[in-house]
Amino acid sequence: MKKILNIFLAATAIASLGSCAKESPFDEEGVVEVGKFAKSALNVELKNESGVPDVYNRPTRAGAPSVDKFRVEFIREGETTPTESYLYEEMPEVVTLPVGEYKAMAHYGENLPAAWENPYYEGETSFAIQANEITENVEPIVCSLSNVRVSVIFDPSLAANMSEDSKVTVYIGDGESGKLDFTLADSEKSGYFAYLPESTTLAAVFSGNVEGYPTSETKAYDNVAPGRHYRITFRLRQAGAEDPGDITLDLKVDATVESVDMNQNLDFEDTVIEDDMRPTEGNKEPEPGPDQPGQNPPAITAKAPVSLDGVNMVTDGMECELYIHSEAGIEKFEVVIDSPDLTEDELQSVGLSKNLDLVNPDPSYEESLVGLGFPVRVAGQKDVTFNITSFLPMLGIFGPNKHTFRLTVSDANGTTTKDLVLQF
């Protein structure tokens, strides 16, 4: 039941190329020198979220496009228009090309300025076409996510106190090329933005009424890069009030960002280059920095429809994603699996254990943990995503039953424990 990391394309028969090699390499003798390129020479690979290139012919990972649907273009050196262009599944076994140096590019989707649920993948490799020869060996085209993915999360503390028309507008650069408005209803959607090499700043602007007061908050993040997923969480933050439950005009909206490299699965917190921009918010005490941690213990929250306050009835296609936020940086992250079906022997068979240490994982478990969506080696990180959506189908195999995942996270400010209860 382990997650399969590589699914190789069906091998193309080389025997058929032998007869092709006997054909004339010229359109007309003395007119155009040509050579041939064998489809079997070209692997199109899709880099998955663990950084391992996977060759997909029929994808098993949810959301992964099949390389059959990638467009492959052969572009001759010094030219911009492709000499030949095919969907990979429709590419002939042998392609005839004029002699020269080439770049083979593969891409999937459209690289639009801004659009909902629109991942764009791209990769390339180089090769040469020689006269009267068949090119049968080139480096694979390794494709990866090449635009910028953004999700906006409204923390329950804010969602319960903001107006229905509240929104977060997100754009990259000056926003002229495109922007998207995220509302509470869009909390389960992702927006995709074209990467702008000349401008690597992403801006997120909250606007709406909070507890009846007009509120506008702008956050900007530098060093935006293609292939990254930026999860921006907006929270209700109370500055300077003695009683945390006393809602006053000092309320403001705060935002944090988690950046995940979709091609290498690395987490880090981006640098905030532009903080609260409302004039009334000036002259406030600086927020705690790395050497001045706050007093809040780690927070564990769930992405709807999942809840940490009761039993979650698992449905087909359901996503199971939690977020961990630590002001001081995670020191301990442990997960205990309590399930009548997932015995220690059963878990060992898929490379896991009932007691998991995600800060210092057992090396024998690490590959399986990553493959099933568990974050690993998270010491010092402030924002971590715990996504076990890919684990749910395995649990469903056992039929109706209840499974509990007990998460315990500690940092310099304390310890938080939450139970994720799943009912099939």
* pLDDT tens sequence across 61-86: 345 688 889 999 999 999 999 999 99
Q: Are residues 312 and 361 in the same domain?
A: yes
Q: Are residues 157 and 96 in the same domain?
A: no
CA neighbor of 162 nearest in space, from 81, 38, 247: 247
Taking the C-alpha atoms of residue 232 and residue 206, their distance in angstroms, rounded to an integer, is 11
**pLDDT digit string (tens) for 188-217?**
789 999 998 888 899 999 999 998 889 988
Question: Are the CB atoms for 261 and 144 separated by under 8 Å?
Answer: no
Q: Are residues 35 and 92 in the same domain?
A: yes
pLDDT at residue 171 is higher than 90: yes
The three-point CA angle 208-220-275 to 5° equals: 75
Q: Are residues 175 and 251 in the same domain?
A: yes
> Would 290 be classed as within a structural domain?
no
The three-point CA angle 98-102-105 to 5° equals: 125
Query: Would strands 44-47 and 53-54 be described as parallel, antiparallel, or unpaired?
Result: antiparallel
Name the residue range of residue 229's domain: 148-281
Dihedral-angle region of residue 353 (phi above 0 means left; psi in -120 to 50 means alpha; beta otherwise): beta
In sequence order, the 6+-apart residues with CB closer than 8 A to the CB of 99 are: 33, 34, 35, 129, 130, 131
Boundary-marking domain end, from 98, 116, 145 = 145
CATH number, residue 387:
2.60.40
Taking the C-alpha atoms of residue 141 and residue 10, their distance in angstroms, rounded to an integer, is 16
Q: Are residues 267 and 170 in the same domain?
A: yes
> Would 172 be classed as within a structural domain?
yes
What percent helix, strand, coil does the chain show, rounded to 5?
A: 10, 40, 50
Helix (H, G, I), strand (E, B) or coil at 405: strand
**pLDDT digit string (tens) for 367-381?**
778 777 788 888 889
> Would 394 be classed as within a structural domain?
yes
Q: Are residues 203 and 247 in the same domain?
A: yes
Task: State the total domains in the chain.
Answer: 3
Average pLDDT score over the chain: 77
pTM for the full predicted model: 0.54
**pLDDT digit string (tens) for 85-119?**
999 999 999 999 999 999 999 999 999 999 999 99
Q: What number is the average pLDDT over the span 262-282?
A: 40
**pLDDT digit string (tens) for 390-408?**
878 877 777 778 888 899 9
pLDDT the model gives residue 22: 35
